[in-house]
């Protein structure tokens, strides 16, 4: 059993009696130098500073101290973006006892008078800053966990770059310590580093006149994407994603991803979703990565290669979207065989040849087959008329059996 003790910036004085007893009983104390310095010296305990990088070294480190009373020190609540979650995932909940302290989120909301359940949390600790882009929406309150003294400037630049320069921004440093500090400005007016590397950035999102809010529901404007024409258009994209039916924690394969719009909007549906975009053209693959960053889902994995060969070795998907290439030999077979039970396959077809392939699969497996015809108003001389886009056939089917 490993005990994980959350400790605040107020150190030993702020620990509950049970947490103090766990630290005093330890044969081994593990943690970052800052956390180890917050507890009194113990002649009986060996102090182990986390190696860097931590995650690859953690299993071997724990094995070396097996059979000893291990106490791990963590900042605040160890189960809130902390080492507690990592240890539970590695060892199982029955092998880890967690004694939490007050989290930085709770302390920040207490200082600001914000209800905790009404804020969105974004961590920049070990994560791309572009993750913040999806969270900046009118009227939302954000609590951003900083990763160094430059984090407030980074946040201010991102928020201002999205057209939210008027947003009030409060930087809270060393929460709970005697040296706690609070600095406030708008995102557009923010200058300079934070007073401490231990900072939390609170943002009240106020759009300026140039802001273009993007909803979280499927069907973003086509102009939101960098593309060369290989883009699942807005209306078809919304229908296709409704058939893919993203659920929290699920994985999507976006095969022949083009601009990556299906994968991007799958990821925007919930922060726990995952996606792999498979694209054979290098310039398009690079554009997919830029689209993912700009739209706040930098975790999108991009695989450059031609399917079905490029699908080998990928984790089994919960849903697969094929936006092009249905006629490639073996592609649909590979996608169907890879799907988990309950997984969804959605194929879009625009040519007679791809429609024929889809019709054959529909005859074998059933599912849902629809044809979409979209017309857009456009000038006809001095008048306005309708211009039809190419019709798209959308086939969707759910896998009921085991692969």
Quick one: CA dihedral 268, 269, 271, 276, positive or negative?
negative
Angle at 258 between CA 253 and CA 259, to 5 degrees: 100
327 touches 257 (CB < 8 A): no
Residues 6+ away with beta carbon under 8 Å from 362: 369, 395, 397
Q: Walk me through the domains of the chain, giving residue ranges and CATH numbers.
A: 2-102 (3.40.1010.10), 105-204 (3.30.950.10), 222-398 (3.40.50.150)
Read off the tokens for 222.
């086509």
Q: What is the mean pLDDT of residues 19-30?
A: 95
pLDDT of residue 251: 98
Helix/strand/coil for 384: strand
Mean pLDDT of 168-194: 95
pLDDT (0 to 100) of residue 44 = 81
Residue 105, both tokens:
């989120």
Q: Reply yes or no: is the peptide bond before residue 53 cis, omega within 30 of 0.
A: yes
pLDDT of residue 41: 85
186 DSSP β-pair partners: 168
pLDDT of residue 324: 85
- Classified as helix, coil or strand, 73 is strand
Checking if the pLDDT of 403 tops 80, the result is no
Q: Is the pLDDT of residue 402 over 70?
A: no
Pairing state between β 141-145 and 199-204: antiparallel
Number of other residues whose CB lies within 10 A of the CB of residue 386: 10
List, edge to edge, every strand of the sheet that includes 199-204. 120-123, 141-145, 199-204, 168-173, 181-186
pLDDT at 42 exceeding the cut of 90: no
The token pair that represents 263 in the structure block: 């994968």
pLDDT of amino acid 38: 92
Q: Residue-wise over 148-185: b if at least 16 C-beta within 10 A, else e?
A: ebebbbbbbebbbebbbbbbebbbbbbbbbeebeebee
* Confidence label for 61 from pLDDT (cuts 50, 70 and 90): very high
Round the average pLDDT of the chain to a whole number and report it: 95
- Structure token digits, residue 364: 């074998």
Q: What percent of the chain stands above pLDDT 90? A: 93
Contacts of 282 (CB under 8 A, 6+ apart): 304
Question: DSSP class of residue 192?
Answer: S
Asked whether residue 81 carries a pLDDT value surpassing 90, the answer given is no
Within 8 A by CB and 6+ apart from 216, the residues are: 134, 268, 269
Would you say residue 299 has pLDDT above 60? yes
Strand locations in 325-401 (E): 344-349, 368-372, 375-380, 383-388, 392-398
| Over residues 145-150, mean pLDDT | 93
Phi, psi angle pair for 140, to nearest 5° = -80, 145
What is residue 401's predicted lDDT score, i.e. its pLDDT?
77
Residue 162 tokens, joined: 């999205």
Q: Which residues contact 21 (CB under 8 A, 6 or more apart)?
A: none
Q: Which two tokens stand for residue 152?
A: 């407030």
* pLDDT of 188 over the 60 cut: yes
Question: Does residue 270 register a pLDDT over 60?
Answer: yes
**Which residue in the block uniquely carries the two structure tokens 């005859």?**
363
Q: How far apart are alpha carbons 282 and 202 in whole angstroms?
A: 39
DSSP type of residue 28: E
Between CA 295 and CA 298 the distance in angstroms is 8
């Amino acid at each position: 059993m490993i005990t994980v003790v959350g400790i605040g910036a107020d150190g030993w004085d702020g620990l509950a009696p049970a947490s103090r007893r766990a630290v005093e009983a330890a044969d081994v104390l593990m943690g970052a130098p800052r956390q180890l310095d917050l507890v009194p010296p113990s002649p009986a305990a060996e102090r182990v500073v986390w190696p860097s990088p931590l995650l690859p070294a953690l299993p071997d480190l724990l094995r070396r101290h097996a059979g000893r009373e291990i106490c791990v020190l963590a900042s605040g609540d160890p189960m809130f973006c902390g080492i507690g979650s990592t240890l539970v995932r590695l060892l199982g909940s029955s092998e880890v006892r967690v004694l939490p302290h007050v989290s930085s989120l709770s302390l920040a909301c207490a200082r600001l008078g914000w209800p905790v359940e009404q804020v969105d949390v974004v961590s920049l600790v070990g994560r791309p800053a572009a993750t913040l882009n999806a969270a900046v929406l009118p009227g939302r309150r954000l609590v951003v966990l900083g990763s160094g003294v430059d984090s407030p400037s980074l946040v201010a630049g991102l928020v201002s770059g999205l057209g939210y320069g008027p947003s009030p921004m409060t930087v809270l440093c060393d929460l709970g310590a005697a040296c706690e500090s609070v600095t406030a400005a708008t995102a557009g007016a923010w200058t300079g580093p934070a007073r401490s590397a231990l900072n939390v950035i609170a943002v009240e999102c106020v759009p300026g006149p140039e802001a273009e809010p993007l909803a979280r529901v499927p069907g973003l404007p086509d102009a939101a994407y960098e593309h060369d024409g290989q883009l699942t258009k807005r209306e078809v994209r919304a229908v296709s994603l409704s058939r893919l039916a993203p659920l929290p924690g699920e994985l999507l394969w976006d095969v022949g991803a083009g601009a990556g719009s299906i994968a991007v909007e799958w990821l925007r549906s919930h922060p726990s979703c995952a996606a792999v975009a498979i694209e054979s053209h290098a310039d398009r693959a690079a554009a997919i990565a830029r689209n993912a960053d700009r739209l706040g889902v930098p975790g999108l994995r991009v695989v450059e290669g031609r399917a079905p060969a490029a699908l080998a070795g990928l984790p089994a998907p919960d849903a697969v979207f094929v936006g092009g290439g249905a006629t490639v030999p073996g592609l649909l077979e590979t996608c169907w065989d890879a799907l988990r039970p309950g997984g969804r396959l959605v194929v879009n077809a625009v040519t007679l040849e791809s429609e024929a392939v889809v019709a054959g699969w529909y005859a074998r497996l059933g599912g849902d087959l629809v044809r979409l015809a979209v017309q857009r108003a456009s000038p006809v001389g001095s008048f306005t008329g309708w211009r039809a886009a190419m019709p798209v056939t959308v086939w969707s089917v759910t896998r009921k059996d085991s692969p």
